[in-house]
């Protein structure tokens, strides 16, 4: 097989800490690739006024596979203050580079597996007649990644033309006495092709990996037009996959049920905001941010990343204490995307062994408060966790 090129984007903070750990594991498992490093994140915002420089987009355009750590984002005014003096007041506006990548390459499928590792002290536990049990959760969330409230079509103090267009809707009467400057509007925009694509991919995945159900998690009883369109398309696409059941839940009820019977769900498909919520909620049942991994997949490009951010307070700790598993699992998703199923499985099996052995646990797995002291309290360092995984490959 031709050697592949992976665009490496460690980013900021602990992105820089966990990224090399994933590369170590990829090398240890015998995955052959060229790694090219690309600029992304806060440093480039401050120096260039752009956290996602064009040269990074060019590399992704060329090689089409990205592995990403995490970035730091700050609110508008704080971001402006940290620009170098030459760039201040020149109209630079901070945009999140991960959202930028998703939009630039139309990475419209976000896949977030939430799977229990046996013996993880962070596993969800529930009461049963026989005492506490740890249900085995195996949920894969398909989140539409580019539309909905994240499309960015929003205003505070909407222009008159927008306001008058909205006033053609009878429900706007409720706001008729509100001044425009007191109105904030964020548009929830769905397109039928994007709904179809995320739903069809969810069903294809369920079929490929033998899940019995795909759950559409929306709110069509209230948000009738957008969630309604998802529902309509889900019903149509479900007919192509007769072996898989289509279940429907409302996002609010889903949040309640996931504490009751999370083991009953398989593939879940949802729009951007609800998908973000439901995937974080499920991730919390299987180890949280130290484990949560995700793929952003478009038709021509894909970027893999842990869900966590740059946790800047841990960036400079030596040894580092953060859990590299989320980053390593993100690299597994990349391997699966590249058809390297065997190697991905070997890595996941190695992680499973380390977790079930329970000898090497990072601070989060010990439920400690993060800080330099956790090593003394028995936590493994980031490097020790990776070493243990590599030892089991
Ligand atoms: P965060 O995910 O960076 O950290 C929150 C807390 O989670 C940390 O303080 C730590 O206790 C824990 N944590 C995160 N990753 C961990 C790991 N690998 N192992 C063990 N514990 C871990 O979120 P926060 O603090 O809200 O944001 C920090 C910065 O990251 C902000 O600038 C934010 O904008 C950015 N961010 C970036 C994301 C991305 O790159 N995709 C996603 C979320 C936040
Ligand atoms: Mg999130």
The Cα angle at residue 340 between residues 11 and 267, in degrees rounded to 5 = 80
Rounded to the nearest angstrom, the distance between the alpha carbon of 258 and the centre of ligand 2 is 17
To the question of pTM greater than 0.85 for the whole model, the response is: yes
List Cβ neighbours of 265 (8 Å cut-off, separation of 6 or more): 137, 139, 213, 215, 247, 258
Which of 66, 143, 309, 362 maximizes ligand 1 atoms within 8 Å of its Cβ, making it the mutation to test the pocket?
309
For ligand 2, a single-atom ion, the residues with CB < 5 A are 276
Per-residue pLDDT tens for 179-220?
Answer: 999 999 999 999 999 999 999 999 999 999 999 999 999 999
Per-residue pLDDT tens for 215-231?
Answer: 999 999 999 999 999 99
| Structure confidence at residue 2 (pLDDT) | 61
| Structure confidence at residue 152 (pLDDT) | 86
**Which atom of ligand 1 is found nearest the CA of 71?**
40
Please, are residues 50 and 56 in contact by the beta-carbon 8 Å criterion?
Answer: no
| Structure confidence at residue 258 (pLDDT) | 87
| Structure confidence at residue 356 (pLDDT) | 97
Domain with CATH 3.40.718.10 in the chain: 1-110+292-393
Domain with CATH 3.40.50 in the chain: 124-148+190-285
Rounded to the nearest angstrom, the distance between the alpha carbon of 320 and the centre of ligand 1 is 15
Rounded to the nearest angstrom, the distance between the alpha carbon of 213 and the centre of ligand 2 is 24
Question: What residues are paired with 245 via a beta bridge?
Answer: 213
Rounded to the nearest angstrom, the distance between the alpha carbon of 76 and the centre of ligand 1 is 19
Fold for the domain defined by 124-148+190-285: Rossmann fold (3.40.50)
Rounded to the nearest angstrom, the distance between the alpha carbon of 13 and the centre of ligand 1 is 9
Q: Which residues of the chain fall below pLDDT 70?
A: 1-2
Per-residue pLDDT tens for 275-316?
Answer: 999 999 999 999 999 999 999 999 999 999 999 999 999 999
Ligand 1, atom 23: closest residue by C-alpha = 309
**Which atom of ligand 1 is found nearest the CA of 370?**
11
For the chain, the distance separating the N- and C-terminal CA atoms, rounded to the nearest angstrom, is 22
Helix ranges (H only) for the chain are 14-28, 42-48, 54-63, 76-81, 97-104, 160-166, 192-208, 226-238, 251-257, 272-285, 325-337, 341-357, 382-391
Please, are residues 281 and 266 in contact by the beta-carbon 8 Å criterion?
Answer: no
Fold for the domain defined by 1-110+292-393: Isopropylmalate Dehydrogenase (3.40.718)
């Amino acid at each position: 097989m031709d050697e592949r090129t992976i665009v490496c984007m460690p980013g900021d903070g602990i992105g820089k800490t966990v990224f090399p750990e994933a590369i170590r594991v990829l090398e240890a498992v015998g995955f052959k690739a060229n790694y090219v490093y690309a600029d992304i994140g806060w440093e480039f915002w401050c120096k260039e006024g752009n956290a996602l420089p064009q040269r990074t987009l060019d590399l992704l355009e060329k090689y089409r596979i990205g592995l990403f750590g995490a970035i730091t984002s700050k609110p508008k005014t704080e971001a402006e203050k940290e620009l170098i003096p030459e760039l201040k007041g020149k109209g630079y506006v901070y945009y999140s580079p991960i959202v930028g990548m998703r939009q630039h390459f139309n990475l419209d499928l976000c896949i977030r597996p939430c799977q229990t590792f046996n013996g993880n002290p962070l596993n969800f536990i529930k009461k049963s007649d026989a005492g506490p049990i740890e249900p085995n959760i195996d949920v894969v969330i398909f989140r539409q990644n580019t539309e909905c409230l994240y499309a960015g079509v929003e205003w505070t103090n909407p222009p008159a033309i927008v306001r008058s267009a909205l006033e053609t809707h009878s429900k706007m009467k409720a706001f008729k006495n509100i001044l425009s400057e007191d109105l904030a509007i964020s548009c929830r925009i769905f397109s039928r092709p994007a709904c179809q694509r995320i739903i069809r991919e969810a069903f294809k995945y369920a079929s490929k990996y033998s899940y019995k159900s795909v759950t559409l998690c929306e709110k069509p009883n209230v948000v009738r037009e957008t969630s309604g369109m998802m529902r309509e398309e889900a019903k149509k696409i479900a007919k192509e996959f007769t072996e898989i059941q289509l279940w429907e839940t409302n996002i609010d009820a889903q949040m309640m049920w996931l504490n009751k019977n999370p083991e009953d769900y398989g593939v879940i498909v949802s729009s951007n905001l609800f998908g973000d919520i439901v995937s974080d909620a499920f991730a919390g049942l299987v180890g949280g941010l130290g484990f949560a991994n995700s793929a952003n997949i478009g038709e021509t490009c894909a970027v893999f990343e842990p869900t966590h951010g740059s946790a800047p307070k841990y960036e400079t700790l030596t040894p580092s204490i953060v859990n590299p598993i989320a980053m390593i699992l993100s690299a597994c998703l990349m391997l699966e995307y590249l058809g390297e199923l065997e190697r991905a499985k070997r890595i996941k099996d190695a992680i499973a062994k380390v977790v079930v052995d329970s000898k090497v646990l990072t601070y989060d797995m010990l439920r400690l408060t993060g800080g330099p002291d956790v090593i003394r309290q028995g936590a493994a360092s980031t490097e020790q966790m990776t070493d243990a995984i590599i030892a089991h490959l």
